[in-house]
Structure 1
């Protein structure tokens, strides 16, 4: 979506910008009702069939941007309904995180095969011949598909020499790796919250912009305006997100200009994850305690395993994610501070609600939401002059943002601890591929391996909260990683000695083996 759904991206960013403006300008939260007319002025619709529906959809999007639920048409009251409950300076969350804005959904067919007007009524009619259910009738004017008989196998689609048969699938449902999307009573998309793992792929693929997640930028800005210090911890995928000519140090200064006390790379926490996961692997897989070990960084991957493959859940690393480790470091430095994770991922909003995480991470926002804050404050990162470089993470910690980066870091560290060890790796990106990886692991096909699951294609750089496509940022991440003065996480002197795992203890264990 990053490159081709430009109008939808524009709509989303306008919503974030206008919410942030209200917060920064200390205007009444009820002004959201007026912002709809600023965003969509006049009487002519730009994106939909009429301005009234367009404004209604924008109103629900703004409400979700404040943290409220999206409503259906039969329950739609004033846009300002319930806003007073959200006018706080702490995280406030009511499930679900991801919802369909019903009045925006076009009720796309879930799965339908149809003959188009490109049909030439050819006398060979291979579509009729290959249909296993005799669902296709040949006429002199073209083929006709009996929808009651059609099983949507797609054989006729492949057989037609004129590409005249179309297999239409609902984009959001087709992209959902855990099959969490079905239809409601009116044929509109409906998300099963028990299956959803908040990967955000449906948000990115809906061509009507009818699916969104809740935001907490309003509450975050109110927290920034309060007396406590607020630190931003920045996910490794931030590189290149705000233009090819914007350096990492300019992004850091731009974030500080929003009112943050300081900005720290989450790559710092990634270094801790690397060291701990390397220890876990060496302690548990070669000894036979674990048949294999899965990485822990992607929360959507972890939720998917927890929900669908509980048999192998214990074999996912117990090490904390980079977000958590970085948050813990900040709380140690300043126990009274607020910590804000800024990244590409919306499932981190759910991870931050976990019992052991809630006191460490106070807010989670995406790069897209951060951009809305920049726009609200008129901040252009490329214009900022700054000399001091960012240097919080090792090369391998910074590479966590790309597919294979986590496993690559863990393997490298394991070999530093135990030279000569052979660590086989299997990595999957995209939630559907992660499901296949978990299935293979359950069947014993991954034994002895370190397996990495990344719910987003390309890794974190392909997350739903990114601003730029992963094809443009992946190389930038790798280049920034090479600029680190720390080749190994063990070299990172920003990590206190007491927080590092004991390598000597592991070497003693090896001697006993």
Structure 2
């Protein structure tokens, strides 16, 4: 299910942004180690002023939901609503640059949930009570009857096959589906005893598609905005590593100089392009593919999307070795930065919620200190009153490093294309078959077919988000628009394929034995 709200500045998007902005604003303003953080308790009143509700049935509920969003934005857990508590409880412990959020990453704010119905078919008022009654005749369980000349579906007898809806001449039968559950390719969302959404964390891979598809704003992920600003205000060297999907997210058309100026104004000491790491990841995967497929492995799946990688290894453990062990672009870029800035705090800035989960892995924690999404960065820019489009910049139009293929990682199909191009460049005689899937449900279907032998010898690209990284949970713009802008930006690179990257010679130094374990 595609996110229909992406790119529309809805009331929900405004609330999210206001929370990010206000937390960032006060974090910048309050750098005193002895602060008591009482301002946290006042934030809901600043964000939701007055006594008239705008979005929900009462202003008190609005403030309660905003309060929980504030806690999550600061990396804190949701509160227990059945006991007295202050929003600021636990803030002092979280106000340290080295603090990681505590799992789970994706959270349901229960009292914000609309308790939407799970999947079902429902007769609408478009029903004409026609003489043919095709919906009743085709139903395999007898769930459709007619009451007062209108169709009626017995939900206890219905098996949700959808045949009634497909045959109705008036399209009077609607398919109802909980938006968050429909967006979840892991079937990880069910209902609690009150009908509210509940996440099965044994299945969840933190792709974040549920949180951007919930129209009630009841699902949110934890942020590290607060901790990043703490690192900046305490004088640490903080460097941003920006994912290839950045193009157009803050306005403009890939204005690198403006983005660099914005990061400097936010207090960052520098900014690097993660597409460099994408080039190195491409070369790694190309070499692994040539060495291992088909002699050692029947097929190989790409590694850069953490949600896809976790799903594949969790659900197909006997084929876990078929997912490439190449380091992700985020990790490779961080290692490059750390070679030159060993004491820096490195912040990955990108479109992806699952990268926050990846950064918690033991082997990655020492490389990447924080992960922020583009939406969280936009909130930080608003806190410092930075209008990206009005910045002057230094006139530079490019990072002038990464290849077009490396920058293309942000769009579905880009990873596999980059790896195939590198293989053709390094091994012209080698043929490469490529298959790809977008969305975890489709990724699962692709893997099932691969396990049965349909894709022997293939390179498989899995993308958890439909459209690729440009559709990640932390993006701001419509997917098709972002994809077009990324492609246009990629064409400006002086290099076409990843093996032309000048950093390629450092790849062996950046690889470490424990990563292949």
Query: Aligned with 2:474: secondary structure?
Result: coil
Among 429, 433, 440, which residue is 1:431 paired with?
440
2:514 is matched with none
2:173 is matched with 165
- Within 5 A, what are the aligned runs for 1:325-340? 325-340=332-347
2:296 is matched with 289
* TM-fit CA distance, 1:75: 4.6
CA distance in 2, matches of 1:492, 1:246: 20
1:397 is matched with 406
Distance 1:450 1:165, change over 3 A: same
Query: Aligned with 1:479: secondary structure?
Result: helix
Query: Aligned with 1:420: secondary structure?
Result: coil
CA distance in 2, matches of 1:189, 1:291: 39
CA distance in 2, matches of 1:491, 1:148: 61
CA contact (8 A) 1:232 1:341 kept: yes
CA distance in 2, matches of 1:40, 1:383: 29
1:308 is matched with 315
Among 374, 380, 385, which residue is 2:381 paired with?
374
Deviations 1:117-152 (A, max 9, x none): 222222221111111111122233312222221222
2:328 is matched with 321
Distance 1:154 1:490, change over 3 A: closer
Name the Cα RMSD after superposition. 1.6
2:277 is matched with 269
2:472 is matched with 463
CA contact (8 A) 2:75 2:102 kept: yes
CA distance in 1, matches of 2:147, 2:134: 13
* TM-fit CA distance, 1:422: 1.0
Among 257, 265, 268, which residue is 1:257 paired with?
265
CA distance in 2, matches of 1:75, 1:428: 46
1:156 is matched with 164
CA contact (8 A) 2:253 2:485 kept: no
Distance 1:76 1:411, change over 3 A: farther
CA distance in 2, matches of 1:437, 1:72: 41
Among 445, 450, 454, which residue is 2:459 paired with?
450
CA contact (8 A) 1:292 1:315 kept: yes
Among 15, 22, 47, which residue is 2:19 paired with?
15
Structure 1: runs of 5 or more not aligned: 503-513
CA distance in 1, matches of 2:124, 2:80: 34
Deviations 1:251-289 (A, max 9, x none): 122112111111000011111101111100111114x11
CA contact (8 A) 1:72 1:103 kept: no
More displaced, 272-281 or 28-37? 28-37
TM-score, length-normalised on structure 1? 0.94
Query: Aligned with 1:198: secondary structure?
Result: coil
2:190 is matched with 182
CA distance in 2, matches of 1:147, 1:5: 36
Deviations 1:423-459 (A, max 9, x none): 0000111111111111112212111001100101111
1:125 is matched with 133
Query: Aligned with 1:356: secondary structure?
Result: helix
More displaced, 209-218 or 136-145? 136-145
